[in-house]
Amino acid sequence: MKNNKNLWVLVFICVINSLGFGIIVPLIYPYGKQFGITEQTLGLLTASFSIAQFFATPVLGSLSDKYGRKPILIISLIGTCISFVLFAEARSIVMLFGARILDGITGGNISVAQAMVSDSSTPEDRAKNFGIIGSAFGFGFVIGPAIGGVLSKISLQAPFWFSAGIALTGVLCCYFFLKETNQEHKRKSGSKFSFKSLITILKKPVVGSAVFIGFLLTTAQFAMIIGFQTFTADTLKITPFQIGVFFAGFGISGILMQLAVPYINKIFTSKSFILLLSLVFCFVAMLLSGFTNQLIFFAGCMCVYGLFNGLRNPMLNAVISERVAENEQGQTLGINQSYASIGQILGPISAGLISGFSVHFVFFLSALFILAGFLYTLILRSKEKTNPI
């Protein structure tokens, strides 16, 4: 994908897509409070998006294998645009849930973008290109919260309207500038999606292990996000603008690591080994986060976690795509995203429940999921040795 103009068009689309999402993430809790959102119902609101995404994403991925990536990506972005409009115009908690569910149903953005990268990448470049796309998404998350914090000074609705405009820009860029990567001759042999594949994929030695590890680590991350939002708002008592800036700093560390993927791959050739090392740092950082009420120490822990967590998706996606046929890339990466959606469901719900005892317990819970991911990565490494490509 070196010197591939389509990659950089896709990068731009990913930036503006994630920018819209990054703008609203730190503001959902303070915005939702006026409709009766609590720490517990915040978890349910976050999970509603992921429940819808769980069912829709593998279907969208399979459709992209059959009909092409570009039209499915456009549909996903249109759904995101409409959902932001509904959020801005919400008059009740029901509308908030409806908006998030709609975004989840059309939320094939990430998996389709990943499939487009896989279509055009050599095995040697996959981890690097996944890292570039990951950085593009990460960049949007970084500057998004800061923009959202500034716009929130106008009104709490302003960031959602801005996000809708950003998503619409993504639709236009995709339609006019992005070239299809799944050519028509590749689609004829595309396999039909069945929900049974959500189970059967776990039986594949290496791919199934990588998918399950992604589920565990996503659960950890989204539990942490709930803890982050409630801890910064209720314990540290910082403003939405300050939360946005804080969240941006957390994201910068992840981008830096994703940009370093090509250099890391030169030192360590095994992607699973890179993942293993990163999880050690993530576990320690998350565990220590649960023991502090100090802003500076907490910020340091979050930056370390964000830095090494940035290696998760490039490594796991590369492992998966290297062992999947071309005509199943969209479906398999969609299934992978579905399991990530389960993590996005269980993480917030479990964090919401345990935060009733103490918000610090949320970070311990996240550390526990990371530890499970570390142990399962050891199993992945053994399966790679017995099931070479």
**25 falls within a domain:** yes
**93 falls within a domain:** yes
In this structure, are residues 232 and 238 in contact, taking their beta carbons and an 8 Å threshold? yes
Record the pTM: 0.75
Phi-psi region for residue 231, left (φ > 0), alpha (ψ -120 to 50) or beta? alpha
**Cα distance between residue 148 and residue 241, in whole Å:** 8
pLDDT tens digits, 326-351: 777 777 888 888 888 888 788 888 99
**10 falls within a domain:** yes
Q: Residue 156 is encoded by which pair of tokens?
A: 């709490």
Query: Residues 6 or more apart from 249 whose CB is under 8 A from it?
Result: 299, 302, 303
**189 falls within a domain:** no
User: For 8-45, b where at least 16 C-beta lie within 10 A, e where not — what string?
Assistant: ebbbbbbbbbbbbbbbbbbbbbbbbeebebebebbbbb
Q: Taking 80 as the threshold, does the pLDDT of residue 109 lie above it?
A: no
Q: What pLDDT score was predicted for residue 375?
A: 96
**Cα distance between residue 257 and residue 310, in whole Å:** 6
The chain-wide mean pLDDT, for the chain, equals 84
Q: How many domains, in total, are found in the chain?
A: 1
pLDDT tens digits, 118-175: 888 777 788 788 888 878 877 777 777 778 878 888 888 898 899 899 889 989 988 9
Q: Taking 70 as the threshold, does the pLDDT of residue 194 lie above it?
A: no
Q: What pLDDT score was predicted for residue 1?
A: 45
In this structure, are residues 157 and 141 in contact, taking their beta carbons and an 8 Å threshold? no
Average pLDDT over residues 174-180: 89
Q: Taking 60 as the threshold, does the pLDDT of residue 366 lie above it?
A: yes
Q: How confident is the model at residue 254 (pLDDT cuts 50, 70, 90)?
A: confident
**289 falls within a domain:** yes
Nearest residue to 57 (alpha-carbon basis) of 224, 214, 183, 271:
214
- State which residues form the domain around 96: 5-178+195-386
**346 falls within a domain:** yes
Domain of 56, CATH number, reads 1.20.1250.20
**27 falls within a domain:** yes
**187 falls within a domain:** no
